[in-house]
Amino acid sequence: MGSLKSEEQVELIGGESSEAIIYVNGVRRAIPDGLAHMTLLEYLRDIGLTGTKLGCGEGGCGACTVMISYFDHSLNKCVHSAVNACLAPLYSIEGMHVITVEGIGNRRSGLHPVQESLATSHGSQCGFCTPGFVMSMYALLRSSKTPPTEEQVEESLAGNLCRCTGYRPIIDAFRVFAKTDDTLYTGHQKVGHGSGEFMCPSTGQPCSCGSRPEQNGRTKVQNGACDQRYEAVSYSETDGSRYSDKELIFPPELLRRKPTFLNLTGFGGLKWYRPLKLQHVLELKARYPAAKLVVGNTEVGIEMRLKKMQYQVLISTAQVPELNAINVKDDGLEIGAALRLSELLTILKKVTEERAAHETSSCKALIEQIRWFAGTQIKNVASVGGNICTASPISDLNPLWMAAGARFQIIDYKGNIRTTLAENFFLGYRKVDLAGNEILLSILLPWTRPLEYVKEFKQGHRRDDDIALVNAGMRVRLEEMDGDWIVADASLVYGGVAPISLSARKTNEFLIGKSWNKELLDCALGVLGKDIILKEDAPGGMVEFRKSLTLSFLFKFFLWVCQQMDGKASFADSVPSSHLSAIKPVHRPSAVGSQDYEIVKHGTSVGSPEVHLSARLQVTGEAEYTGDVPLPPNALHAALVLSRKPHAHIISIDDSGARSSPGFAGIFFAKDVPGDNMIGPTIADEELFATEFVTCVGQVIGIVVADTHENAKLAARKVHVEYEELPAILSIEDAIQNQSFHPNTEKCLTKGDVDFCFQSNDCHRIIEGDVQVGGQEHFYLEPNCSLVYTVDNGNEVHMISSTQAPQKHQKDVCHVLGLPMSKVVCKAKRLGGGFGGKETRSSFIAAAASVPAYLLNRPVKLTLDRDTDMMITGQRHSFLGKYKVGFTNEGKLLALDLELYNNGGNSIDLSLAVLERAMFHSDNVYEIPNMRIKGRVCFTNMPSNTAFRGFGGPQGMIIVENWIQRIAMELKKSPEEIKEMNLQQEGAVLHYGQKLEQCTLTKLWKQLKLSCNFPRVREEVNQFNLQNRWKKRGIAMVPTKFGISFTTKFMNQAGALVQVYTDGTVLVTHGGVEMGQGLHTKVAQVAASAFNIPLSSVFISDTSTDKVPNASPTAASASSDMYGAAVLDACEQIKTRMAPISSTRDFSSFAELVNACYMNRIDLSAHGFYATPDIGFDWKSGKGVPFQYFTNGAAFAEVEIDTLTGDFHTRDANIFLDLGYSLNPAIDVGQIEGAFIQGLGWVALEELKWGDAAHKWIPAGHLYTCGPGAYKIPSVNDVPLKMSVSLLKGVPNPKAIHSSKAVGEPPFFLASAVFFAIKDAIVAARAEAGFTEWFPLDNPATPERIRMACTDEFTLKFATSRFRPKLSV
């Protein structure tokens, strides 16, 4: 190895380069020195390639996915990989080719087949996540010699999140590229038996997908089930699999170019080195002992960006051959420390195929653990050594290295190599046995011996792409001795139970030398319970659950080893068939979906399943979001100064550090606000900038502006605020105890005489209890963003905002600047998701940004980072419901007395309206003669909670369904039986006085029951549960009735502007905002049908307050109804004006008619208006008609749970909805599926954890789950294996445009069928253990809640059968 004496010699030996060369979409780019601090994503967006999105900044959402290609000289082939651009250091891709979504296709030159398929399959709604999905699929195709399998397609998408679609259409769109039949790819056409028909490779049925080939290799299908199919054109090692003749090739320059040593710098003195030899790495490490070695930057990047850790020297080891080597030796597998996990996975699979099965038990365990380790993008860059040396206590791989007896080779700068056992390498929390001048060289994984078994275990919040709550690696070696099987060696290692991966030493010692049998297991479980100690206040919480998992994993391991030993001579402990389910490997078949609806056309377009109007822009990355808008000259970036205390008196603010920060341009506080500092959507009860007191963590104290986003954040962090802390209210329970309520929020609804009914003999039984309902983060993929700029030197203020309520932005900015509304304009082109989160809580962001923009007369852009967005903008309200219910022995409901409390946070916002809707929906669909519903909004020292899809309705309904399920258990009947006998019927008068009309509840219920064949499935589930002790299935049917209208009457109005041009095209502007729900598409269809013209002749641009004034927020599911009607009104006005001309003769086209009208001076522009009729509610009397109509639905779900871990999956979901005559059934189905999966997240996955009495390990008032790392929304893996959506046929709705019904919110609650199916499965598990009484189950039903409710001998060691895991409410 060469010597390295000075920095100068580094440069000489390596062939040093002072600039980095990369190619982006085929274009050569020389990157200058000084950018080591920059990520690939920042660079791409700076050069105008904004198709690649910033969703989270931590590699957790996949919105930033791009493909990188590099030539591997050792393999002599080009490697194509999907990576997260938000984590990739810019210089790390030197010498590589980066392909972004813009590089594979666009509207002008044509879409790539991947883009085309996604667009036509309705796989893009808001579109913000779409480029990431496209690039993940594209990279898979480019890297595959043969078409991938369906399983590989779904695996490739595991690192991509979508909040809109529910994933089903995305899977369907990409499934067409999967290899399901060789004949499609061998060129031999598969035909039907003697029919000559082409047989579809996906369905196996005759279809037209193989007909009419076009020149570009695509096949056009009119209405086939398969949409379009694509064939690979060719494959080369350099270019990869080519699905189109326009594919970007790997640049020849990069083929010839040899890697060079890089010595580059970045902001703040950061140094970046890329050595090419091991010796150079060692000498650099000797010179810079504190330097961080990086390969994928998946840990260091997060530490530097999110945890604000400062590292001055980064050494990239990705291209050091010695650290990337892998050697198959006689004694094991030697793995270079810099080897990427995806490469390790490939090698391990190859080794298991080539070597004797008994040698590769460790390899198989690693394969399975890496599979669930992370998304594809992370595995493509993260290194083995990086994961080891990070020494995370929840590392998935370190327990396996330790249990398998792996040895780590460590080398110092002199070349001295020492070896240590993995078990001895981890010294403490994130501390390892490495000196400052040493690095990890390689890992030696020994082959396992005969009768030696290694197994992996892991349980997270979510199965796919999630960090572990608890994991384990376990190994045992057995020997036969005197006809008995003795433990010769054992190693049990756990993660997630201590500051390091912990070896259960006492248990290991106890096992060795003893017979492997049930008695040993029972004793070992006792020893293990004392071996692994978790204190009550342990970081991460969930102590009882985590302790129980340690026992569950050992039990599973025992059963698994017994199964492996089954058939061996004299081995008597075979696994009972009922226990086999505990160790059955997780295999998830590809999800399938079906959609059933009728098409009722009205004119040229209404009723047709048209593709989202922006779909083709979104799949190519050309769709522009607020953050993509090019900044005007002289623009500044802003960052907020935020409170770090939940309740405190501000003593002083020192901003001197900010003022001396690089790029600083200004800092502003309450004293600088030109107008009024008090704002609020309903009551002005919150300060724009806090003055004397702060009332939550994340409250805005001030705003800093600087030349870059990073500099603004840096300056904001340097503002020092001194506080005097005050007592904080951090939960609903705290609020009730302290009588902390928002003023004037006490509400009551009554029907009948509740007290008399309870005292009468009619009530055979009365139950009382409470239901806790968890909150939910919106997790729109596009974080909040506003760009504010002045016009005419400050005479006017304009803004482009990511908001559902442009008028609220306009109003608040006017308010804080002291300007008239006529001088302030807010525009919104499209949102990357909203779900209610951008209705009111986005407004203060624009208002804050407007202050420096106005005072400095410079454009200001404020974009929230994901963690900040989640922390300060509020969530779905958590609720507490206290109920008392009277009913008969038959199950007939008689009386309900309910107290509702919601957590409003530190300002009222929309919390009262949310509470009111929850009260309206507190009957769900059930006839209850006597009702009393009381409600109050709690004031807490938490960020103000706000609107979220359903707006309180789902919380009210899930409380109902909880006590319905309890009644069923009390009466030993099925919940479905109780529901059926109490369903509301036509003409029923609800507890707030409204009469039910066009009630389709019974019809929906019967059709759903027939469709899912409920009695048969019930019997099948019962049989499965009888035969399986540790896996249980459950089923449930849940109905819903959702009222359509804003419950505040004046908001039920809409305006639109329709302009007809002389070429026959139509421009529509209305007050609604497009956020993925297809509003613009539906409204355009209304206009197209009104004028009897093609949909392509209608265009809708942005939503703007200077086009349509005083618009209500796009919310309450009513936008299609209202804006569709307003547009129709405008169209009818124009048609009325055109009628005298059109009646004179037949015109050959609409354009000809328009021209004739123009020549006759007919006004071809009209403003339309709509006000929802016949609604209104009086809270004084508690009676009225708050809703124009109801959207009804019902859903069935079947789930399977692992009672030992709490893991679950949804086997089947069957959804029926009454949507009248759908304006666009394809968009409506997309809304149903998206709402259902989002609802599934609320009931089963997504848990908010706040620093409160339930989570004392979190700082008071802080949000722990403030990013995709800790907060888990559903992923591709959470989609039901079978998902059916049916729209009720033949039920026109006379109360909305073209007989349609609203769809956005109503399906959300139907996902509670999954929750109650989970509870049904838990009931079966508890019954088998002898526990048959009712028990509470709060949502979300996370693995913790499922596991701890499945009471058995393992949980009883730590908790009683009535244990209720803690929940932030």
Which residues does 350 contact at the CB level (< 8 Å), separation at least 6?
none
Residue 781 near residue 128, CB atoms below 8 Å: yes
| CB environment 469-503: b (16+ within 10 A), e (fewer) | bbbbbbbbbbeeeeeebbbbbbbbbbbbbbebbbb
Encoding tokens for residue 480? 């036969």
Rounded Cα distance, 734 and 1252, in Å: 10
| Cα–Cα distance measured from residue 1273 to residue 162, given in angstroms and rounded to the nearest whole number | 9
* Alpha-carbon gap, residue 576 to 570, rounded angstroms: 17
Burial group, residue 567, by CB count within 10 angstroms (0-12, 13-18, 19+): exposed
Please tell me whether residue 176 adopts helix, strand or coil conformation.
Answer: coil
1034: closest CA among 786, 1208, 864, 793? 1208
Q: How far apart are CA 701 and CA 855, in angstroms?
A: 18
**Alpha helix (H) ranges present in 227-320?**
252-256, 278-287, 300-305
| Residue in the block written with tokens 């979901």 | 1213
Judging by beta carbons within 10 Å of its beta carbon (0-12, 13-18, 19+), is residue 733 exposed, middle or buried?
Answer: middle
Phi, psi of 1086 (to 5 degrees): -60, -45
Is 1269:1339 a contact under the CB 8 Å cutoff?
Answer: no
Q: Where are the beta strands (DSSP E) in 1119-1273?
A: 1165-1171, 1176-1178, 1183-1185, 1189-1202, 1208-1217
Token pair of 415, please?
A: 């070349």
Q: Residue 701 and residue 844: Cα distance in Å, rounded?
A: 12
Task: Report the C-alpha gap between 970 and 1087 in whole angstroms.
Answer: 55
* Length, in residues, of the chain: 1369
- CA distances 722 to 645, 657, 710, 952, 1084, Å, are 10, 14, 24, 38, 54
Distance separating alpha carbons of residues 581 and 567, to the nearest angstrom: 19
Omega before residue 1340 within 30° of 0, cis: yes
Please answer whether residues 403 and 397 qualify as being in contact, where contact means their C-beta atoms are separated by less than 8 angstroms: no
Residue for token digits 């409600």?
Answer: 935
**Contact partners, residue 658, CB within 8 Å, separation at least 6:** 664, 667, 704, 715, 716, 718, 719
How many CA within 13 A on the CB side of residue 1017?
Answer: 21
Distance CA 1349, CA 1341 (A): 10
User: What DSSP string describes 735-773?
Assistant: HHHTT-B-TT--EEEEES-HHHHHHSTT--EEEEEEEEE
- Return the SS3 of 398: helix
Q: What's phi and psi for 998, nearest 5 deg?
A: 50, 50
What six digits make up the tokens of 830?
A: 């499209």
- Residue 850 DSSP code: H
HSE-CB for 27 with a 13 A CA cutoff: 10
Using an 8 Å Cβ cutoff, are 638 and 148 in contact? no
Catalytic residues: 1305
Could you tell me if 740 and 938 are in contact, meaning their C-beta atoms sit under 8 angstroms apart? yes
Q: Amino acid letter at 43?
A: Y
Report the phi/psi class of residue 172: left, alpha or beta, with left for phi > 0 and alpha for psi in -120 to 50.
Answer: alpha
For the chain, state the CA radius of gyration.
Answer: 32
